[in-house]
C-alpha cells in the first residue's frame, strides 16, 4: 500500500524563479480591484530568494490544482522561488507516510485539523509564532475561532499556533428560488423562529417547505450531521460545541439531544419534507435540491453548503434562478451572536526554510486570496480583501458571512474520531429520521465512542 501511495503522487513543477509576467492570470497594476500595493510591498520585502525551491503538498487536484497554480505563480514571480506542488488521491495517508519517513514537504496543506494536531504532537510541524496568531485574530472575521482551529499541542506538550487558515467553505446556508418566494409572497427569515413560522405558513398555503436528502452511498447520513452541528451552534455555546467534538460533552447529554430534536422538527414531519419523513434517508443529497426548481416547486428551501450549486440543473443562474440566505440564529439566544459552520484548508510548515516562511507571509497579502476569488470556488474570512474581486455575487455574499461572523466553527463530525464522525454519527442520523428517538440515537453514538477507549 505504501508503495502504491508513493507511486501515485503526481508532482507538478509550477512556474518558478523564471516566472514571466505572461504566467500571471491578472497583470499587476492593470485591474484596480486587486490590492497591487500589498503585492508590491511584499515583493520588496521577499524578492531576494532566487535559487530557493519550495515543495508544497496539498489536497487540490484537477481544476482546483489549476486554480491554486495561478496563485502560486504570483509567489514565484515576487520571490524568485521555484515552487513544486504535489497532491495525491490519498493525501491524508501520504502526508503521514512522508513525515514519518523524514521526507516531508516544506508546506503541508490539509483540511483536517485533527490530523494536523496529531502531526504537531509528534513534532512534525513547525510553530508559526505568536505574532502570526495575533495577526489572524486581528485580520480574520471571527478571528479567535480561526486561531483556535490552528492551535495544537507540540511534542513538548505546550500549545502553539501551527496552521494558517486559507480557503474556507460555508455550510450555514439555505437555498431557495427567488422567483418562487416572490410569487408566494414569502420573505427571507431573519431568525430561527421566523424560519419555523415560514415552514408552517408554506404548509398552510398548500406547499412543501423543505427538500432534505441524506443519501450518499457509503457516506449516507452526513448531511444530517451538518444540520445538527449548525443547530448546536445556535442552541448552546461555542465552548460546549468544542467539548462535544472531543466527547468532553457526551453525545447523550441533553444539550446534544436538544439539537438533534431541533433537526427532527424539520426532518421528521411528513408535511414539512418533500416525499415525507420516510424519504429523507433514501433521497440522494445530490438529487435533493432539484425540487426547488419545478413548476410548481416540490419544495421551497434546501439547507446545504456552498458547493451544492454544482448539483443544480444545467443552466441555473445563481442570484436569479437560485439564491441563498443565512441559516438564522434563534432570537431567544441573542448571546450566541452570528455563528457560521464551515470547513477549510490549513497551511502548515513541515520542513522549515526561508521560502516556507516567505510563503506564509505571502498568504497575508490580499493578492494571495483575491487571485483565486476572482475565478471560482474560493471564500476567505480575511477582512482586508476587496470583495469586489469575487467572481460573482453569490460568492461575495458567502464571503461576507465569513468576515461578519461572530463565531466560526469547523464541521464537528470532521473533528471527531473517524469511527464516530464518519461512522456512528452518520448511521445514527439515518436511524433517527427512520423512527428512533434522539435519546436512543444519542445513547448508541455515545456507546460507540466509549468503545474506542
**CB-based contact 380:210 (threshold 8 Å):** no
Q: Does pTM surpass 0.85?
A: yes
Residue 312's pLDDT is 96
Residue 253's pLDDT is 98
**CB-based contact 146:140 (threshold 8 Å):** yes
Task: Residue 132: count other Cβ atoms within 10 Å of its Cβ.
Answer: 20
Residue 13's pLDDT is 38
Residue 294's pLDDT is 85
How far apart, in Å, are the Cα atoms of 421 and each of 53, 146, 407?
Answer: 38, 21, 21
Task: Give the chain's residues under pLDDT 50.
Answer: 1-18
Residue 129's pLDDT is 98
Task: Residue 381: count other Cβ atoms within 10 Å of its Cβ.
Answer: 28
Coil, helix or strand at residue 247: coil
Domains of the chain: 2-169+342-410 (3.40.190.10), 173-339+411-450 (3.40.190.10)
Coil, helix or strand at residue 51: coil
C-alpha cell at 91: 493525501
CA dist 346 and 357 (Å) reads 15
Residue 6's pLDDT is 34
**CB-based contact 169:307 (threshold 8 Å):** yes
Element containing residue 161 per DSSP (H, E): strand 159-161
C-alpha cell at 442: 444519542
CA dist 173 and 325 (Å) reads 6
Using alpha carbons, select from 71, 16, 28, 55 the residue that is nearest to residue 374: 71
For residues 8-42, b (16+ Cβ closer than 10 Å) or e, as one string? Answer: ebeeeebbbbebeeebbebebeeeeebbbebbbeb
**CB-based contact 88:29 (threshold 8 Å):** no
Task: Residue 272: count other Cβ atoms within 10 Å of its Cβ.
Answer: 22
Residue 10's pLDDT is 38
Using alpha carbons, select from 343, 116, 306 the residue that is nearest to residue 229: 343
Amino acid at each position: 500500500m505504501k508503495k502504491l501511495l508513493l507511486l501515485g503522487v503526481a508532482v507538478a513543477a509550477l512556474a518558478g524563479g523564471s516566472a514571466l509576467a505572461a504566467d500571471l492570470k491578472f497583470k499587476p497594476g492593470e485591474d484596480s480591484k486587486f490590492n497591487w500595493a500589498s503585492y508590491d510591498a511584499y515583493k520588496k520585502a521577499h524578492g531576494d530568494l532566487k535559487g530557493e525551491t519550495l515543495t508544497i503538498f496539498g489536497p487540490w487536484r484537477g481544476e482546483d490544482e489549476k486554480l491554486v497554480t495561478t496563485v502560486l505563480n504570483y509567489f514565484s514571480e515576487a520571490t524568485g522561488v521555484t515552487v513544486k506542488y504535489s497532491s495525491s488521491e490519498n493525501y491524508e495517508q501520504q502526508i503521514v507516510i512522508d513525515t514519518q519517513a523524514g521526507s516531508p514537504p516544506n508546506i503541508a496543506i490539509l483540511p483536517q485539523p485533527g490530523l494536523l494536531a496529531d502531526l504537531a504532537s509528534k513534532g512534525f510541524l513547525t510553530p508559526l509564532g505568536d505574532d502570526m496568531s495575533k495577526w489572524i485574530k486581528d485580520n480574520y472575521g471571527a478571528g479567535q475561532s480561526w486561531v483556535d482551529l490552528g492551535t495544537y499541542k507540540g511534542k513538548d506538550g505546550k500549545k502553539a499556533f501551527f496552521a494558517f487558515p486559507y480557503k474556507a467553505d460555508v455550510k450555514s446556508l439555505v437555498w431557495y428560488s427567488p422567483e418562487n418566494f416572490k410569487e408566494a409572497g414569502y420573505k427571507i427569515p431573519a431568525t430561527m423562529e421566523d424560519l419555523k413560522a415560514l415552514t408552517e405558513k408554506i404548509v398552510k398555503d398548500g406547499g412543501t417547505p423543505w427538500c432534505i436528502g441524506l443519501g450518499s452511498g457509503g457516506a449516507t447520513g452526513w448531511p444530517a450531521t451538518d444540520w445538527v452541528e449548525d443547530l448546536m451552534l445556535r442552541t448552546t455555546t461555542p465552548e460546549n460545541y468544542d467539548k462535544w467534538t472531543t466527547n468532553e460533552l457526551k453525545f447523550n447529554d441533553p444539550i446534544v439531544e436538544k439539537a438533534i430534536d431541533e433537526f427532527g422538527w424539520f426532518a421528521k414531519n411528513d408535511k414539512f419534507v418533500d416525499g415525507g419523513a420516510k424519504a429523507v434517508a433514501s433521497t440522494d443529497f445530490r438529487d435533493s435540491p432539484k425540487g426547488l426548481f419545478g413548476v410548481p416547486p416540490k419544495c421551497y428551501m434546501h439547507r446545504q453548503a456552498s458547493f451544492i450549486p454544482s448539483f443544480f440543473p444545467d443552466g441555473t443562474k445563481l442570484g436569479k434562478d437560485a439564491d441563498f440566505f443565512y441559516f438564522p440564529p434563534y432570537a431567544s439566544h441573542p448571546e450566541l451572536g452570528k455563528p457560521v459552520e464551515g470547513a477549510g484548508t490549513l497551511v502548515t510548515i513541515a520542513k522549515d526554510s526561508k521560502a516556507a516562511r516567505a510563503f506564509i507571509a505571502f498568504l497575508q497579502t490580499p493578492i494571495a486570496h483575491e487571485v483565486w476569488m476572482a475565478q471560482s470556488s474560493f471564500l476567505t474570512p480575511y477582512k482586508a480583501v476587496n470583495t469586489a474581486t469575487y467572481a460573482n455575487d453569490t460568492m461575495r455574499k458567502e464571503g461576507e458571512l465569513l468576515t461578519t461572523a461572530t463565531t466560526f466553527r469547523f464541521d464537528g463530525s470532521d473533528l471527531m474520531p473517524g469511527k464516530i464522525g464518519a461512522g456512528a454519527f452518520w448511521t445514527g442520523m439515518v436511524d433517527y429520521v427512520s423512527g428512533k428517538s434522539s435519546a436512543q440515537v444519542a445513547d448508541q453514538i455515545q456507546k460507540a465512542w466509549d468503545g474506542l477507549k
